[in-house]
Amino acid sequence: MSREMGRALAGQVALVTGAGRGIGRAVALAFAAEGAAVVLAARSRQHLAGVAAHIRARGGRALAIPTDVTQDAAVEALVEEAVAELGRLDVLVTAAGTASFGPVAGAKPADWDAMLALNLRAVLVCCRAVLPVMLRQRRGTILNVGSVAAERPIAGAAAYAATKAGVAAWSRVLAEELRGEGVRVGLLVAGAVDTPLWDAIPGAPDRARMLRPEDVARAAVLMAALPPGASLEALTLLPAGGIL
């Protein structure tokens, strides 16, 4: 029996944005462990090389493509290269994202631009970019990463919550558009996860009480590995007994 057989994502190709660290990295490692060939996208070439080496050392298949997903043409080129190299594209996980917090009263609109561009617009652009290939295959899974911040008000997180609420609404509508086309869309809503995202946030909550990136990755595997006839369109993952 080949190594590929019996693994949940054997034979599939997954593109993970934000794969250099945090949630995206954990998803990429977990998908590779389940037999997927993984395309890794983020801006840091060095981070991607480290993740790719980790996957290859364990017998997995990884392709690192340094990409700034806020650049539309770069996203098009990313999908084109992924399909040219690996022949198909079965799963997209949009885990590239950022968080900046602060009260609205003290904010300048320009402070929000980079986060809106990455957390919202780039997610839309990435989803759109994979559609031609997934529709052609009549098979595909898109997983967008949401946040409880969109559902439970946290003072200081208004702009961040707005980006995540936008992604939630987008995911629901896109799922409806693609129903019957073989392409499913899921939203993975996570509570606080202990990733480098918190490094730059003053007064971050107790990281020991957060989810681990590997927890989110397990949920992503569950969503991606369901048989094609079933779609887990929304999943909320919270630290049990911890903080949101």
Ligand X SMILES: NC(=O)c1ccc[n+]([C@@H]2O[C@H](COP(=O)([O-])OP(=O)(O)OC[C@H]3O[C@@H](n4cnc5c(N)ncnc54)[C@H](OP(=O)(O)O)[C@@H]3O)[C@@H](O)[C@H]2O)c1
Total number of residues binding ligand X (CB under 6 A)?
30
Query: Which C-beta is closer to ligand X: that of 51 or that of 86?
Result: 51
Query: Which segment (8-16, 21-29, 83-91, 104-112) binds ligand X by CB under 6 A?
Result: 21-29
Among residues 8, 44, 107, 207, the one that binds ligand X under rule CB under 6 A: 44
In terms of DSSP bridges, do strands 140-147 and 91-94 run parallel, antiparallel, or are they unpaired? parallel
Q: How far apart, in whole angstroms, are the C-alpha atoms of residue 59 and residue 62? A: 10
Q: Does the footprint of ligand X cover residue 192 (CB under 6 A)?
A: yes
Binding ligand X (rule: CB under 6 A), the pick from 97, 140, 186, 239 is 97
The span of 19-27, 57-65, 172-180, 201-209 binding ligand X (CB under 6 A) equals 19-27
Tell me: does residue 228 bind ligand X (CB under 6 A). Answer: no
Residue with nearest beta carbon to ligand X: 97
- Part of the chain binding ligand X (CB under 6 A), chosen from 83-91, 174-182, 195-203, 217-225: 195-203
Question: Closest Cα to residue 158, out of 214, 111, 197, 210?
Answer: 111
* Binding flag, residue 99, ligand X (CB under 6 A): yes
Judged by CB under 6 A, which of 190, 217, 221, 224 binds ligand X?
Answer: 190
160 catalytic? Reply is yes
CA distance 184 to 25: 22
Running DSSP on this structure, what letter comes out for residue 116?
Answer: I
Phi, psi of 74 (to 5 degrees): -65, -35
Which of the residues 134, 160, 168, 223 is marked catalytic? 160
Pairing relationship of beta strands 183-190 and 234-237 according to DSSP bridges: parallel
The reply to whether 47 sits near ligand X by the rule CB under 6 A is: yes
By CB under 6 A, tell whether 95 contacts ligand X.
Answer: yes
**One-letter identity of residue 16:** V
Q: Which residues of this protein are in contact with ligand X, per CB under 6 A?
A: 17-18, 20-24, 42-44, 47, 67-70, 95-99, 118-119, 145, 147, 190, 192-193, 195-197
Residues with a catalytic annotation lie at 160
